[in-house]
């Protein structure tokens, strides 16, 4: 089945530094990837839709200059949290639509990246 | 009002119990209905999805959709401790190309 690899799984950084999270579709090409943020005991909050070769589409209230998204190839999307602050600490999850034998309604998720900003 | 409302739980049941997880939705444009399972500190994984009203069974899991009442259910038979996780219902609107998630129900199955 479709596999989405997300790296790193955990990262701890100092306030003011930038952190990059990678999301790769391992066995299929993903023209569209999604980035979510999840707080403890809460659901997924869609941050942005990442489109290969074009600018990401951000959800209302998400700062595009704070959360930089790059989707340079059909198998890789990256999320960079710039000048991270403690309030950015969260669980970030990427997903890709479709995959071999899957319809557009199916999302394959990465394992998530837990960011802790000190 | 959220487009997808999910019973918040948490839900705790003894091993072997039948579990019922429920969601309602408001947008009749939703065409696909999914259930994802998320273990602690992991990304969600797809359990099953349905397209039309009715039941769909996969092993111990049965997904049920009633489009007339906009009601989605997931039943788990003979629940096991390994079923302990957060279950997210989700809908997909083909025209909008958008998935909408419920807030999730955390299930604990006690041995």
pLDDT, position A100: 65
pLDDT digits (tens, 9 = 90+) for B51-105: 888 899 999 999 999 999 999 999 999 999 999 999 999 999 888 888 899 999 9
Q: Which residue shows structure tokens 């955390």?
A: B106
Count the neighbouring beta carbons within 10 Å of the beta carbon of residue B40.
8
pLDDT, position A79: 97
Count the neighbouring beta carbons within 10 Å of the beta carbon of residue B99.
23
Are residues A43 and B102, on separate chains, in Cβ contact within 8 Å? yes
pLDDT, position A99: 66
Residues of chain A with C-beta less than 8 angstroms from the C-beta of B97:
104
Are residues A105 and B99, on separate chains, in Cβ contact within 8 Å? yes
Q: pLDDT band for A53, please (50, 70, 90 cuts).
A: confident
pLDDT digits (tens, 9 = 90+) for A57-107: 999 999 999 999 999 888 999 999 999 999 999 999 999 986 666 777 888
Q: Which of A6, A42, A3, A2 is nearest to A22 (CA)?
A: A6
Radius of gyration, CA atoms only, chain A: 14
């Amino acid at each position: 089945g479709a596999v989405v690899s997300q790296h790193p799984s955990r990262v701890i950084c100092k306030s003011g530094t930038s952190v990059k999270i990678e999301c790769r579709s391992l066995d299929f090409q993903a023209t569209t990837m999604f980035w979510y943020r999840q707080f403890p005991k809460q659901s997924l909050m869609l941050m942005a839709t990442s489109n290969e070769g074009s600018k990401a589409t951000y959800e209302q209230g998400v700062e595009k200059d704070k959360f930089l998204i790059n989707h340079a190839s059909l198998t890789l999307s990256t999320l960079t949290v710039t000048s991270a602050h403690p309030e950015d600490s969260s669980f970030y999850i990427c997903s890709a639509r479709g995959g071999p034998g899957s319809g557009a309604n199916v999302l394959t998720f990465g394992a998530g990246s837990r960011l802790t900003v000190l | 009002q959220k487009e997808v409302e999910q019973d918040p739980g948490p839900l705790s049941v003894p091993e072997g119990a039948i579990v019922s997880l429920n969601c309602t939705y408001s947008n009749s444009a939703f065409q696909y209905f999914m259930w994802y399972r998320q273990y602690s500190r992991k990304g969600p994984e797809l359990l099953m999805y349905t397209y039309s009203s009715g039941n769909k069974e996969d092993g111990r899991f049965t997904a049920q959709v009633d489009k007339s009442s906009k009601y989605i259910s997931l039943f788990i038979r003979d629940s096991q401790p390994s079923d302990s996780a957060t279950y997210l219902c989700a809908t997909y609107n083909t025209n909008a190309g958008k998935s909408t998630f419920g807030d999730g129900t955390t299930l604990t199955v006690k041995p």
